[in-house]
Amino acid sequence: MKIVFLDGYTLNPGDMTWEAFEALGDFIVYDRTAPQDVLSRAAGAEVLIVNKTRLGEEHFAGLPALRLVTLASAGYDTVDVAAARRHGIVVSNAAGYGNAAVAQMVVAHLLNVTNQVGQYAQMNRDGFWAKSPDYCCWDSKLVELTGKQVCIVGFGQIGSTVARYLRPFGVRLCAVTSKTQAQLPADVRPVSIEEGFATSDVVSLNCPLTSDNERFVNAQLLNRAKQGLILINTARGRLVDEAAVVAALQSGRLGAYCADVLSVEPPQANNPLFAAPNCFITPHIAWATEEARQRIAHILINNIRSFYAGKPQNVVN
């Protein structure tokens, strides 16, 4: 069995071993693969592992030996799953690997805004506290989370973990979800997207990207948001209209935008979000704890073993 991992570097930049993959068959891993090299590198492979490498109709048509694509991620918007199905190719993902890691990043971003630990630590390096006549000093608003309303958009595994992590802070929870109240925890109230943005102090995006919700966070929705809303996006960059977010930050309609994802990754250096006020961007690292990456590797191996045992798992197409 020939197994090719087209973009293995982000999963394993050198702190893990590939031995378990090598035990499955003829295993080849590339750090990164340019679009023009996909067909040549994947030639003859029965199994392809990809993270962010895009696969479409032309690849499936040109790879007659291919039987399984397994993604080193929970999201699968980089693969044309319908085209794979037409060619009889199973697509599986690594669902559930990053629930704790991504939810932890949501909380980290939120606390960074409300408590400004990083900001004050840097200011004190520059002498802020040392110049104060008082035993304590601050020059910006600090915020308690108790009693604040948090709206979670997408109440799947990650969204429900976010809720669990936030409960000890005493927040009020609501969710934009297809689930009914009977299917939700008793303390989570289902709301429309409009109500969630208009009434919440914090909105966390934890939904998948689909053709129906691309850039649904637009100027119209943001203009109806509660003044000073903290918007957190650890899902997909293309869920938001980034120009509209910049405008909302500049006007003060948004109190902060916290994102671990952008619409184009890696971004251009002149992306307007980098210069926008109260905008906090991390480089798509919520998923990348060592523990989460080890879970991905374990899921990938089990996906391959299960497929060849005739019982494919984590199938998305």
Nearest to 60 by CA among 88, 37, 28: 88
Task: Give the residue numbers annotated as catalytic, written as ranges.
Answer: 236, 265, 284
Give the DSSP per-residue string, the chain.
Answer: -EEEES--TTT-SSSS--HHHHTTSEEEE-S---GGGHHHHHTT-SEEEESS--B-HHHHHT-TT--EEEESSS--TTB-HHHHHHTT-EEE--TTTTHHHHHHHHHHHHHHHHH-HHHHHHHHHTTTTTT-SSS---SS-----TT-EEEEE--SHHHHHHHHHHGGGT-EEEEESSS-GGGS-TTEEE--HHHHHHH-SEEEE-----TTTTT-B-HHHHHTSPTTEEEEE-S-GGGB-HHHHHHHHHHTSEEEEEES--SSSSPPTT-GGGGSTTEEE--S-TT--HHHHHHHHHHHHHHHHHHHTT---SB--
What span, in angstroms and rounded, lies between the C-alpha atoms of 45 and 39?
10
Burial 164-173 (b: 16+ CB within 10 A, else e): eebeebebbb
What span, in angstroms and rounded, lies between the C-alpha atoms of 137 and 26?
61
